[in-house]
A and B are shown apart, each in its own frame.
Chain A
Amino acid sequence: MTQSAISVERVSKTYGTFKAVDDISFEVNQGEIFAMLGPNGAGKSTTIRMILDILRPDSGKIAVFGEKMNEAIKHRIGYLPEERGLYREVSVIEVMVYLGTLKGLSRPEAKKRAMRLLEQLELADKAKQKVKSFSKGMQQKVQFAVTIIHDPDLIIVDEPFSGLDPVNTQLLKNMVKDLRQKGTAVVMSSHEMFQVEEMADRLLMINRGKLALYGGVDEVRKRYATHGIIVEGSGDWSRLKGVERIEPASNSRNGVLLHLNPNIQTDAVLSEIAQNSAYHISKFEEAVPSLYDIFIRVAGERPEDIEAEYKQKVGKNA
């Protein structure tokens, strides 16, 4: 059995009277992109800081690569926090080398790797410039490079693509996917649901400190799927057999969501549309909600409702 990169077991953390994290358990596997979702202030950053031993939990257990946090383990982790920065009056290469040495690299090795990463990020010619001369996007690329300079086995990146243009976003996304390919566990916190949908293998959603969603991305989406189809085209959809209700589809510009009678299969509806010349379709898909829709829905729910619904959907032992 493959060892988990991160194992969080019944962890709670309270600030004064505010319970930031409430009895959360999850695991992150090696070689997967694990998304950590939740509204602002939900408890994501606190959870991440507890994993990194920057904060200590009030209760529960956290293990990284099967061990309690120590310096050797820290050297296997790369971390890119949401609010991040670098020394402004120092050259880019100097700050990268320093942060590399803090992760256990020798200076020459850190310098070699820093230059290689800067070349990859098309910043090699600016290595000796001071950080303050870099744009926000360029600094973000350097920060990402610092996160992976020591070839970590686990990276935790918080909003890694925020503020980047599409070209640089794609550049970093490719680097993240390459890391997964090499077996690195990637924990990614993001509010950009389409990025999560595209990249993540599994996800965790925290809402008001409690675990709201946990599982494979496709599995979670299916869990929230309604019995219906989304169609784009023309025709009187209400006359189709088995259609109970019609509403505009939230994740389709011109489509409609057809809620179906529980006794009718989606194949039967498609067959009827295909055989009837009164209908023309340009798009037909199962009504699986986007993560964006699920996020909006779950984030708007009360914690106790989320808990009840979660238990109902995945079973009490989940």
Chain B
Amino acid sequence: MELGRSFWSVFKYEISRTLSKKSFLFSMFGLPILGLILVAFLRSTINTGDMTQQLMKFAVDTGGITNAGYVDYSGLFPQAGQLASEYLTRYEDEAQARAALDAGEITVYYIIPADYAETGEVQSVLPSFSMSSISSAPMRLLFFSQVGEQLQNFEDLNVLGVPPNFQVNKLQTETESRRVNEDDNNSAVTIFAILFVFALFGTNGYLMQTVIEEKETRLIEILLSSLTPLALLTGKILALGILGLLQLVIYIGALLIGVRLYGGDLSFLSAINLSVGTIAILVIYFVLGYLFFAAAFGAVGAISTSITEGPALATIFIIPAVIPLIIPGTFAQDPNGGIAVFMSLFPITSPMAMIMRTSITDVPVTELILSIGILAVTVIGMLWFAARLFRQHTLLAGTGFKLRDIPRLVLGN
């Protein structure tokens, strides 16, 4: 399949033209920056205003942990205190705390070592790795409960805003390691999938816009006299695909910065343990998924008669594509069930469905091969289909599109 030099001209031009668009720059850089500014603002709001009130709100936030324990070797926290006693139980030693944890009386316990005053370190002990159980909030509550109520100068309470230096101990055995990381992997992959959707439909939306613009301005006929529809379409797809990938990286980077800026703990990143195989699957589905939806959006652009009609028609692909994200419970409950398997094989839903499934369960290799095969063939078919529509329908700008026209447009010369 000869694409020629013109393909690279399209590729380079689409990158420079898209990067010069204010709307694209806003979505790529503006949105994450605004998000970070918002996070910084929220953070600064917490540190200003009425200190007592703020600290009270700050202190009683237990980060969603309602039953925790602690073992104090420092002697600084003989009692949980009135404010914290509802959420925190003091144990004399680790054996008692462990017994309570095993019995399910508490979800996490903290070990405050003897040298806490010097190091500021606190150990957190969890039954298995769980994102929801990692929080410094109960410790803040304990400190506030013990110390804050007795201090007259509330400015001294600023020290309580500093998160303790956590060391996380996991009690699981090596053989259970895969299950331990499930929550983290699942969360990470879900976040990836959501950002992927944003980047995917954002950049492909631009692709569709450029196609419609070229039709509306009637530039398309001049372009097609210089290169083939396939070269034009693939040049656009590759250019916007790279920008989409860049956008994804920026979004992920902004998310991590945002978490850090808000005072969150990034230690969970080290707990994410995606295998090489899972990462390979993510990459394969990212590439194939992107190509499929890019070709689909290109086809929608080719049959759309106006810039307002395109997005409406694109929902034919968008809604089915995000269904797996809308029903994560179905995947969590029965990752190898009929619905999950069907969605993993159906090309429109397979990128999201398979990305989610692989983070939850071991997908049979045959299913993986079948799903990737179907998607790859569909990508080629969709590219061909889009190029055909491009050739035929782009010359009919202003004429309405009818479904019954498709065979003639695609199969005609």
Contact = CB atoms under 8 A, between A and B. Distances in A.
B391 interface: yes
Interface in A10-32: 13, 15-16
Contacts, number: 76
A77 B226 CA distance: 8
A268 interface: no
Given A54-B225, A71-B5, A85 B219 contact: yes
B219 A102 contact: no
Interface string A73-113: 01101011101111111100000001101111000000000
B155 interface: no
B221 A84 contact: yes
Given A16-B408, A57-B413, A84-B221, A74 B226 contact: yes
A258 to B, nearest CB: 48
Contact of B4 (A71, A79, A81, A99): A71
Given A74-B226, A77-B225, A98-B9, A87 B408 contact: no
A98 B413 contact: no
A146 interface: yes
A58 interface: yes
B413 A99 contact: no
B218 A90 contact: no
B395 A49 contact: yes
B327 interface: no
B139 interface: no
B6 interface: yes
A152 to B, nearest CB: 11
Query: What does DSSP make chain A's interface, helix, strand, loop or mixed?
Result: loop
B280 to A, nearest CB: 36
Given A87-B217, A98-B13, A103 B413 contact: no
A115 interface: no
Interface string A142-162: 010010000000000000000
Given A84-B222, A87-B219, A102 B6 contact: yes
A55 interface: yes
Given A54-B395, A71-B2, A83 B213 contact: no
Contacts of A101: 6, 9, 13
B227 interface: yes
Nearest to A86: B219
B413 A55 contact: yes
Interface residues of A, number: 33
A16 B214 CA distance: 26
Contacts of B217: 85-88
Interface string B1-45: 010111001100100010001000000000000000000000000
B391 A84 contact: no
B223 interface: yes
A74 B413 contact: no
A52 interface: yes
A56 interface: yes
B224 interface: yes
Given A71-B2, A71-B5, A74-B227, A90 B17 contact: yes
Contacts of B2: 71
B121 to A, nearest CB: 57
Contacts of B223: 99, 102
A49 B10 CA distance: 21
Given A13-B413, A87-B213, A90-B17, A79 B222 contact: yes
Nearest to A143: B222
Contacts of A74: 225-227
A199 B257 CA distance: 68
9 contacts: A54-B395, A71-B6, A74-B226, A83-B397, A84-B221, A87-B214, A98-B9, A102-B6, A102-B226
9 tightest A-B CB contacts, nearest first? A85-B217, A56-B413, A79-B225, A102-B226, A101-B9, A85-B218, A83-B218, A81-B221, A71-B4
